[in-house]
Structure 1
């Protein structure tokens, strides 16, 4: 079934940088938007974009379509927000994945939003779990899954694994370059139908860049 977006993406201000529509926003705006519209975002996704992903998008039309196909591509990289400001988006600021997730975890612990974590090593997920329950009392972890770093079989497909958890938010953790070069097609298909936020590393939550 083709996904039909429930919010009007055109209302999100953007700055086109090398073909990618980077959201011309700041963290306050982003958190307020997500909290207000979270019930309408199921099935959608956000890309946490930086200079590297923007250059890859410039060179690869398929990957560019993924960046532009989500709800928004937020400016994780400082140079992106700097370019946006120089182009007249005065309120545009760097909105890093780690900072966003910290904000979302705070809200989730208070409102009971459930999270499902996908990607990285099993050891990293276990460390993440311990840090989350310690730093965000009351947070609900619906499940975690560390997939093999290759194309998935039908039994390994995350769609069948995560759907049963009825989670409100799904996070995908994978090293950006490895995902871009190897997993664009399998991952985009596997987690279709879930609200996902793509990001990488944060000492606060215990994530790392390690790829087995």
Structure 2
């Protein structure tokens, strides 16, 4: 069983980016569907206050620290520390670098209408020969789900990227994983399809290396300010949890 470090009760895999990429490769060669989740501080706080969501995360086969705040939190606690941030976007890109050789077939599910198709086209240009075998936007009703699942299965996809936002994407994967016999890895990717489509610009490398990608996004989207307030609250909760 993979070694994990709990952050406010949420188990985070104690793993590097290289290790996470190798773990995905192992999942692709095994049976069954393996959920992969990418919590940042906001998602950890959501799970802390939502028992059903927390239980879903605990069932995942890989839970990587998407936000630098999660890594910092591990350093504020006693015991082991997370070695580095494993951004969900970069994890997906690193799997795509070996996709042609390994026979990975992707299905993009989520985001606003048109985004998944744009993302697929951009990734085909970035990684010639990559197989993106299906797309579907994230606007649907409960009665649409059987048709969506049928389309995913008919596509032959073995990696499913679900971009419905937390906790919806994780809950959707857990509820439907038994209906997806061909999928080996399902990743909750949040807004990653928007990034792949070029609708949201990634922070410069310097910001990423300094763990300030969140600050760059705030500069680009000042409306995110209220959401960013969760970070100091998150760190306060971690310190309080350590003392108690």
TM-score, normalised to structure 1, is 0.80
Mapped contact 2:160–2:187 kept (Cα < 8 A): yes
Cα distance in 2 between the residues matched to 1:208 and 1:75: 24
Mapped contact 2:108–2:160 kept (Cα < 8 A): yes
Aligned residue pairs total: 194
CA change 1:20–1:207 in 2 (3 A) is farther
CA change 1:92–1:85 in 2 (3 A) is farther
| Greater Cα shift, 76-85 or 186-195 | 186-195
Give me the CA root mean square deviation.
2.4
Matched, 1:17 2:2: no
- Identify the residue that residue 137 of structure 1 maps to in structure 2: 128
1:74 Cα deviation from its structure 2 partner: 0.8
Give 1 or 2: higher helix fraction. 2
1:164 Cα deviation from its structure 2 partner: 1.8
SS class of match (1:197): strand
| Match runs of 1:54-69 below 5 Å | 54-69=44-59
Q: Which has the larger radius of gyration?
A: 2
| Match runs of 1:79-90 below 5 Å | 79-86=69-76, 87-90=78-81
SS class of match (1:82): helix
- Identify the residue that residue 227 of structure 2 maps to in structure 1: none
CA change 1:67–1:154 in 2 (3 A) is closer
| Greater Cα shift, 160-169 or 135-144 | 160-169
TM-score, normalised to structure 2, is 0.71
- Identify the residue that residue 103 of structure 2 maps to in structure 1: 112
Uncovered stretches (5+) of structure 1, i.e. residues with no partner: 1-9
Instruction: Decide which of 143, 160, 164 is 2:154's aligned counterpart.
Output: 164
- Identify the residue that residue 206 of structure 1 maps to in structure 2: 197
The Cα offsets for residues 86-134 of structure 1, whole Å up to 9 and x where unpaired, read as 5443562110011101101111023221111111123101210110111
